[in-house]
Amino acid sequence: MNASLRLSVSSLRAHKRRFAGTFLAVFLGVAFLAGTLVMGDTLRASFSSMFGDATAGTDAVVRSADTITTPGESQGVRQPVDTSLVPAIEKVPGVAAAVPRIEGRGQLVGADGKPVGGQGPPTLAGNWITDARLNPYRIAEGRAPARTGEVVVNRGAAEKGGLRIGDTTTLRTPDPVEVTVVGLATFGGQDGMAQVTFTGMTRADAEKYLTAEPGQAASIQVRAGPGVSQARLVSELTSVLPKGVEAITGQESARENTEMISSQFLTLFTTFLLVFSGVALLVATFSIHNTFAIVVAQRTRDNALLRALGASRRQVAVATLVEAGAVAVVASAAGLLGGLGIAAGLQALFPAIGFPFPEGGLVIGALSLLLPLAVGILVCLGSALLPAVRAGRTAPLAALRESAVDRSAGSRTRTVVGGACAAAALASTLVGVLVSPSLWSAGLGAVLALVAFVVLGPAASRVAVRALGFPVDRLRGVTGGLARRNALRSPKRTAATASALMIGVAVVSLFTVFGASLKATMDRTVSRSFAGDVAVSNPSFGAGGSGLSPKLAPAIARQPAVADAVGLGRGVAKVDGSGRALTVTDPGALGRVFDLGTVRGSLDHLGGDGIAITEEEAGRQHLAVGGTARLTFTDGTTQPFTVRAVYGRSELAGDYVITRAAWAPHRTQDSDTLVAVAFRPGVDPAEGKAAVERVAERFGNPSVQTRDEYAQSSAGGIDMMLSLVYALLALAVLIALLGIANTLTLAIHERTRELGLLRAVGQTRSQLRAMVRWESVLVAAFGTTGGLVLGAFLGWVLVEASGGASDTAFAFALPPVRLAVVALVGLAAGALAGLRPARRAARLDVLRAIAAE
């Protein structure tokens, strides 16, 4: 072992530059992984501390015990509690104070006329709690609201909207309410709870605008008297609360709020980053393996001499692994420091992009340190394992001949294994897409397809490089021909080098195809289902926005140019025990503005006890026209509804439709998500849209769009997602470029005598540089082409499997322009990666190169 260690140290000292690419690949992958983990730990700890500080005075929370959760949503809808419980709670032993907390959706309009809070984060409004210990917000400037129309807003929202104390603005509840800002508040010492906006008003205003009727609250906050523990307080409260109402400790409430933020944002965000950390490390694996494979091949004579002098196979293999381990430890340790720098940079960057990162130092957990370090070391050692074994198998007689690298296109075993993986991938994919739609089966097929591409890479590289290099051979003459032959010289090396870039391009192509398919699906959905002329919406994602006023659709319908205007509201209920989303609307007008397919029964006479459902849900619930569905609402009441219509399509209309009259007794804060408008025959579209815009301006000025514009805006978040994906995948592409550059650099060292001979027989420096650059471009072209093919295939698999598994008809679409840009970027990356090796090759001294061994 000591001899192996000395050999490794000597080799590292003599050939430090050989491992520069490996060091950078491990460093970048570990830094990204460590930065993600540290940032996640810091955010969780910061939000936990912030919620703990904000709710420190709340010892118990009284709320409804029942929630209704619909498919696809993590947070259920909880029914309100009756504020008449407050006097009874105040009489419970140990209670010092009890106040109702009324909360709903309310979006401020900024000084520029645009809604504050954007389209994603929750925009909340509620009553300003006068008990300072029970109020999580603190007045930072101004005063609390005392009269109707006065509000306090969190300071972060005020700054974002350009609002100051004394300003008058509009609050969408969703009915527009004119309010005056009289105070600015903080939450847990911060300007707000992440990007959530909050508007506090008087209790009377909150009951008027945020509840269906006075006397309802989201919860009741309770403060304990001196010496009363939270657990004891909850025990005392539980004994007097009616059925369906529960009490939880303030600590449990704070923990639930932290978990809500974690599940809705942090987990999704960190998982997203971790996936790309994994992609980056996978790409690094190929680059590292290729580096060690070339180094081992170059040292064939050295290893053979060691064997001839008495070194065992194990000693030679261990020496190679020790080199890899040394590089891995140093690079991973540096990556940890880089990860801390990334986390610190994100902590400073987040406020600049509008996300208030909670103040405080970085929180570094043991897992956030140990996991990246272990992953970096394992990736490096695992990548070097096969080259190390190959080094140990070097025969002593190899010292008597010139060293050579593997020039084969792959063994028969490799071909058989690759072919078997390809067949298994095709079978699993077809089963998961066509036979029995399943994301798991399709995902297994996708993984096997990736393995098949890698295993069959050497065989494919000979064919692909010959084809891709043909134009170079024709256009660049001898220089292009030499570049093509150099790329063909070692098919395994070419395939391994290109595989790193192939994976990066494949993931980029996968998301590009999937994003284009989602946009095509949305466009097809709107075109097929929406038969109106314009759509009025307040686009939002998640819990953002406040929705549209239910009064908007009737106001638009009264315009002379309008034939029909139907608003689509949203409710929730349990249908025969399962949580389902309800569409609350005028069913008759819905059938005129939306294409619902074949309708059995009648949509015109649902009344207060009728319901319309899709054919799919009717089959699932075993219902037909005339059947009875039992709906349980959030207020706890259960009511039988007669199925009076069954319709074919649900894409925009939803699976369950009831009237506003049926929903009214169970509603909380009523709002519409969309108003669809159809003009009378002969109305000019521009004039009709202008008329609708004039009405919408009185209701908070929501967006009025044509059918095509609505389809494009509905898919607007997809481009945002793709931009983030491209930015993150730049890391993987960068690592792949380092791999190509490192491979070419090592190959130049290997071909020193050959390059010297070429220069001696008349090749100029510019020709030599061009030859190396074109070789790099051909390797990148092979990786890019394979990545495009694999990414398009995986995109098709994901689209088809997602549609089959979710009962949603997805439209597959290939975006030729975007994929062409990806291809050009890949080729440009290859040219860029070849610059430094080409410059180094051109600087070789001719006489020394010829004399080199």
CA 199 to chain centroid: 29
**Tokens in use for 806?**
């979710």
Backbone torsions φ then ψ of 642, nearest 5 degrees: -90, 130
**Full 3-state SS string of 100-145:** EECEEECEEECCCCCECCCCCCCEEEEECCCCCCCCCEEEEEECCC
Q: How many angstroms separate the CA atoms of 401 and 386, rounded? A: 23
What span, in angstroms and rounded, lies between the C-alpha atoms of 449 and 447? 5
Distances (CA, A) of 451 to 423, 446, 454: 11, 9, 5
The C-alpha angle with vertex 452 and arms to 734 and 788, in degrees rounded to 5, equals 45
Provide the whole-model pTM.
Answer: 0.74
Can you give the pLDDT at residue 612? Answer: 93
Contacts of 279 (CB under 8 A, 6+ apart): 503, 504, 507, 729, 732
**Whole-number Å distance between alpha carbons of 613 and 600:** 10
The separation between the first and the last C-alpha atoms of the chain, rounded to the nearest angstrom, is 29
Token pair, residue 799, equals 């689209």
> Cβ–Cβ contacts within 10 Å for residue 74, how many?
9
Predicted pLDDT of residue 640: 92
CB 794 within 8 A of CB 510: yes
Peptide bond into 174 cis (omega under 30): yes
- Among candidates 797, 787, 809, 792, which has minimal Cα distance to 442? 797
Token pair 């009890």 is at which residue? Answer: 98
Q: What is the mean pLDDT of each run of 10 residues along the chain (853 residues)?
A: 54 58 79 84 76 79 85 74 91 92 89 73 86 90 94 90 92 90 87 78 92 88 91 90 90 81 68 77 76 70 69 76 82 88 76 57 81 87 79 65 49 76 82 72 78 78 79 78 77 76 83 84 79 79 66 92 91 86 90 87 89 89 89 86 88 88 85 90 91 88 84 72 73 74 69 70 78 82 86 83 62 85 83 77 66 54
pLDDT at 778: 84
Instruction: Report d(CA 538, CA 545) in Å as an integer.
Output: 7
Give the torsion sign (CA, 52, 53, 59, 65): negative
Pair 783, 500: CB distance under 8 Å: yes
Residue/partner pairs of 441-450 with CB below 8 Å, 24 or more apart: 441/801, 442/797, 442/798, 442/800, 442/801, 443/801, 445/797, 446/794, 446/797, 446/798, 448/421, 448/422, 448/424, 449/421, 449/422, 449/425, 449/790, 449/793, 449/794, 450/503, 450/506, 450/790
Q: What is the pLDDT of residue 408?
A: 47
Angle between helices 716-750 and 765-806 (to 10 degrees): 140
Please choose, from the candidates 617, 628, 622, 607, the residue with its C-alpha nearest in 3D space to the C-alpha of residue 654: 617
> What is the DSSP secondary-structure string of 398-460?
GGGS-------S--HHHHHHHHHHHHHHHHHHHIIIIIS--HHHHHHHHHHHHHHHHHTHHHH
* C-alpha distances out from residue 448 to 410, 433, 443, Å: 19, 15, 9
Which pLDDT value is given to residue 508? 84
pLDDT at 149: 93
pLDDT given for residue 45 in this prediction: 78
What pLDDT, on the 0 to 100 scale, is given for residue 380? 83
Q: What are the φ/ψ torsions at residue 531 (nearest 5 degrees)? A: -100, 5
Confidence (pLDDT) at 403: 46
What's the rounded Cα separation, in Å, for the pair 443 and 446?
5
